[in-house]
Amino acid sequence: MAGGPALWARRASVPLASLIAAGVLLAGLDRTLPPPPMPEVSALVTDREGRALRAFPVEDGRWRLPVDPEAVDPAFRAALIEIEDQRFYSHHGVDPLAMARAVGSLVSTGRIVSGGSTITMQTARLLEPRPRRTIGAKLIEMVRAIQLEWRYSKAEILQAYLTLAPYGGNLEGVRAASWAWFGHEPDVLTPDEIALLIALPQAPEARRPDLRPDAAIASRARLLARMERAGLISADRAADAAEEPAPMRRAFPALAWHAAEHLARPGGEVRSTLDIRLQTALESRLAELAANAGPDVQASALVVSLDGREVRAAVGSAGRDRAGGWIDLTRRARSPGSVLKPFIYGLAFEDGLAGPGTRIADLPRRFADYNPENFDRTFRGDVTIAEALQHSLNVPAVQVLDAVGANRFLAAMSFAGGRAIVPRSNEGDAGLAIALGGLGITAEEIAVMFAALGAGGEALPLAWTEGEAAANRSGTGYRLLGARAAATLVEVLQRSPAPPGRMPARLTSGAPAIAYKTGTSYGFRDAWAAGVSGNYAVVVWVGRADGAPRPGETGRQAALPALFDIFDVIARRDPSGISALPEGPAVRRASGPLARFERGVSGPDIVFPPDGSDVWADGPGRAFALSARGSAPLRWYERGTPLEIDAAGQSVWQPRGPGFYELTVVDANGRSARTRVRVRMPGPS
C-alpha cells in the first residue's frame, strides 16, 4: 500500500494532536473559570455519639447542616438515584440519554416533561444559581457539571447535593430538612419521609408542608407511586405512606445552649464530650428547680467524668426565658461560701498539721481584725476536724486556714485551675475570710477542684472534646492534694448529713455515696452544692443572675437536693460509675501530736465577754464570771489590775458603772488576749 506505515502514522497524529490541544484548552479554561467553591455549612455541635445538640445558621439565617451521605438512610439514597439520576455513577456530569429523552418529550408534547438534569448538573445550579432557566443557562450548567466531575468524586458531588438541595424557606440540605420537618436525623427514614424529601427540592416553595400541605401531600403521593413502580416499596406501604398528614415545621436542636456556643466552629461539626441524655435530664431538673424557686431565680450545673475530665453535661442557666438566662452562669465568678473548706483541711492533712480525728475548738475567736461566727450563731466547743467539716463550722476552718496560710491556699487553687478573684490587703496578702467565701470563683473552677478530689488529688483542666480528654489522659496534672489526703476527705464528706427528705446512704441499699459540700455566700446571694461519687463530680449553683440576695436560701436547702437528684440520674445511666459507702468507722480519734489542733493560736481564746460586745448589768456591783480557753493557769486583768478569783477558782469582774472597759487574759506561757466591751446599766449609759 502506498505510503506504508509512515503515512498512517502521520494521518493518525492529526486527530490525536487535536484532542491534546482541545484537552489543554479545556484545562486552561477550567483553571481560568473554575466552578464556585462549596459554600460554608452551619456550625453543628453534637454529643459524644454524634447526636445533634445545637446547630447555628449561616448567612441570611439559612440552615445548611453538614451531611455525610453514608449517615443518610440507604433507602433514601437508592430512591434519589433511581428517580433523579439513574446513571449517576456512570456518566461524567451530563447524561446524553436523559438529555435526549427530555428533548424528545419536549418535541412530542410541546412542554417540558423531564428536565434531563443530572444530580451533578443540579449541584452546579445550586452552586451558581441563575435567575432564568434558559438554554444558555442549561449549557453553562452542563459545562460546570463536567468541571465538577473532573474535580470531585461521585461521593463528594452527592454530598454537595445533599447539603445544598432546597427544602423550602431557609432550609438547605437533607439533614436540615429532616430535622425541620420530622424532628430527627435522616439516618432512618420512613417511606413517606423519603418521598417528601425527594419531592420538595423539585419545587420547594410550591410544596412547603407548613404553607401548602395539600401540594406537599400530592407531590409525595406521586413520588410514592414512582417508588412503587421502581420496586423500591410495596403497594401496601406506598398506600399507607400516602395517608400520612403533612408534617409541620419543628425547632432545631437547642440543647447545651451555652456550651455549644463556646464549642462551635464555623463551617463544621464539633463532637463534644457531652451526653445528650444526661444533658436533657439536667436541663429539665434545673428548669423545674428554678420554676419552683421563683420567677427571678436561675440555676446552673456541671457533670464531669473523672476519666479524662470529660464534661458530660453543662447547663449555663435554667432557661433563656428567665432573667439572666442568656448568660453562661457556669463561667461567672461568684462567692463560693463554704464550698472550698474541704481543700483547706486537705492542705492541713498534707502538711501534717491535723487529721480528721484531731480535736479543735469551735469557740468565739478573733483573728486580728476578723471575728468569724458560725452560720447558726452558736458554738459547739471541742469537735473533731471531721465534724467541723461535715457541719461546716466556720471558726475551725478559719483557724486551720490561718495555720496553712491564705496565700498558700490560693496558690494551690490557682495551680489547680481555680483562678479566684480575691480582694487583698494593703500588704498584698489574702485575708482569712476566703475560708468562708470571701473571693470569686466559677462553677467550672469548682468542678476542676472537686474532680481532683475524687481522682486522688490530681487536678486537670475540663475536657470538652475527645482530643482534650485524650490529652488529659496522656498528660500530667497539678497535684492539688496527695492521694491519701484526698481519699480521707472523700470518706469524711461521704458521711455528711443527708439533705432534707433523703435517707442517709448507709441506710439505703444501692444509694450512691456522695462526698459533698454545700456553700452559702454572704447575704444569701449564692447557694452551692458540689460533690463527687465514683467516676463523677457534680457542681450546682442556684441564685439570681444579678447577684441580689435571697434571704434564707442556703446551699443545703436550694442546691443540695438537685445535686442528689443528678447523682441518681447518673447512677441509673452508669451504675458502675458511682461509689458505695465504705464500711467501718468514718473517723478514728487522733493521738500524739495530732490529738489537738493548736497551731495558729497566738494566745488564749476569750469566751466571755466577747470583744466589741455590750454587757448589760442590773446596776453597780453586779459581778460577771470571766471565761477563756488556754494554757492554765489563766490570769485576768482590767487595765493592768489583777481581778479577784472566787472560791471556785473563777476570775470575777465587777464593773464600777456604765462605760467602756478593756480586759486582758494571760495564759501560763505569757500569751495574752484582749477584749474591749461596753457596760450598759438602766438609765443613761
**Rounded Cα gap, residues 282 and 593, in angstroms:** 46
**Rounded Cα gap, residues 218 and 503, in angstroms:** 60
Burial 242-262 (b: 16+ CB within 10 A, else e): beeebbebeebbebbbbbbee
Paired residues of 411 in beta bridges: none
Report yes or no: 581 and 513 within 8 Å, Cβ to Cβ. Answer: yes
> Which spans in 502-592 are helix H?
555-558, 560-573
Report yes or no: 93 and 138 within 8 Å, Cβ to Cβ. Answer: no
- Residue 638 among the catalytic residues: no
Q: For the chain, first and last CA: distance in Å?
A: 143
Catalytic residue among 305, 338, 533, 579: 338
**Rounded Cα gap, residues 673 and 665, in angstroms:** 6
C-alpha cell read off for 48: 459524644
Report yes or no: 119 and 125 within 8 Å, Cβ to Cβ. Answer: no
**Rounded Cα gap, residues 544 and 139, in angstroms:** 63
Fill in the amino acid letter for 279: Q
Catalytic residue among 84, 269, 310, 468: 84
- Residue 205 among the catalytic residues: no
Give SS3 for 5: helix
Report yes or no: 670 and 647 within 8 Å, Cβ to Cβ. Answer: no
Judged by phi (left if over 0) then psi (alpha if -120 to 50, else beta), residue 649 lies in left
Burial 593-610 (b: 16+ CB within 10 A, else e): ebeebeebbebbbbbebb
Torsion over CA of 414, 419, 425 and 429, rounded to 10 degrees? 0
- Nearest CA-CA partner of 194 in 42, 72, 291, 329: 72
**Rounded Cα gap, residues 374 and 432, in angstroms:** 14
Which residues are catalytic, by number?
84, 338
